[in-house]
Amino acid sequence: MASGIFALLDDIATLMDDVAVMSKVAAKKTAGILGDDLAVNAEKASGFVSDREIPVLWAITKGSMLNKVIILPFAFLLSAFVPAAVTIILILGGLYLAYEGAEKIYEYIVPHKHTQTVILEEDITEEEILRREKEKIKSAVVTDFILSVEIVIIALGTVVNEPILEQILVVSVIALLATVGVYGIVALIVRMDEFGYKLIAINDRKDSFSDKVGLLLVNALPKIIKAMGFIGTIALLLVSGGIFVHNIDFFHHLFPSIPAIITEFLVGLVIGFIVFGILELGKKIFKKKHT
């Protein structure tokens, strides 16, 4: 009896060790998406009234958890009954990521006009504020759903050949990390400027140490979000390129003498601009037919 219990505990310990190792691999594979997820949500969760930032972020976090609850069962069913579909969805996700990265680079390089209408409303009602808040929360949750699908499928792709129990444990760990970790960091980022203002208000002395630190935090917030967007773009191309290189044999043997990270970036970049060009051409043709 006792030996059976110890054997069971040993099996559980071995399973947890395997899950920990595979979770590290899956976390590395999904790091690029997590970085992009972090940058996108930091941007979407900022811009609210100070005392509404955390409630809004909590609402987005709950929506993100619900997204994972919806996505995970479908992903595990596909893995169990149609494992080939995981690879297909993974490649389709790679095309989307490559396109997204190429689009961001195009918008950065090619000058284009941004049309922005600013409406100043002094007597905006509380109901209108809450309505706009709900719209922004809904937009953030929809964006999170798309990114969550990518995160789950990429994580599942790293363990698709493992037993279903290990797949469930590993992917669930990554999904939890994607929600708790990302939104925890987002909460710190969006409150950075508020903390900075509090440091500035600690005393009435000008140019004090607290003033300098406070101003540094306030001024750093938009720069941090912008830098995260840049890093996220590079990560998108690396992740998408990695998907193509590791799942399509032609790309896997394309540049054997070049370091893998450069190959993955180049493949992601080229495919991204091909997809971007095709979609842009399609949009122009569609517009001409309807004008």
The tens digit of pLDDT for each residue in 21-49 reads: 555 555 555 555 666 666 666 666 655 55
pLDDT at residue 167 tops 60 = yes
pLDDT, position 194: 74
d(CA 143, CA 67): 10
d(CA 16, CA 35): 26
pLDDT, position 41: 63
Lookup: tokens for 101 = 């990265």
Among positive and negative, which fits the CA dihedral 121, 194, 143, 63?
negative
Which residue has 């893995």 as its token pair?
Answer: 79
Classified as helix, coil or strand, 274 is: helix
d(CA 21, CA 245): 22
| DSSP classification of residue 50 | G
Mean pLDDT of 121-143: 71
d(CA 67, CA 179): 10
pLDDT at residue 207 tops 80 = no
What is each CA distance from 111 to 107, 108, 114, in whole angstroms? 7, 7, 10
Q: What percent of the chain has pLDDT over 90?
A: 5
Lowest mean pLDDT among 116-125, 137-146, 234-243: 116-125
Task: Indicate the pLDDT class of residue 269, thresholds 50, 70 and 90.
Answer: very high
d(CA 5, CA 16): 16
Mean pLDDT of 202-218: 77
pLDDT, position 26: 58
Lookup: tokens for 35 = 């970085």
Is 206 or 145 the better-scoring residue by pLDDT?
A: 145
Cα–chain center distance at 219? 24
d(CA 265, CA 255): 12
Classified as helix, coil or strand, 160 is: coil
Q: Residue 240: which H helix or E strand, with range?
A: helix 209-247
d(CA 219, CA 200): 13
pLDDT at residue 278 tops 70 = yes
Picking from 213, 190, 210, 191, the residue whose alpha carbon sits closest to that of residue 201 is 210
- 258 phi and psi angles, rounded to 5 deg: -95, 140
Mean pLDDT of 104-123: 62
CB-based contact 244:88 (threshold 8 Å): no
Highest mean pLDDT among 77-81, 197-201, 276-280: 276-280
Q: What percent of the chain has pLDDT over 70?
A: 75
pLDDT, position 272: 92
pLDDT, position 165: 79
CB-based contact 79:167 (threshold 8 Å): yes
d(CA 137, CA 53): 11
Average pLDDT, the chain: 75
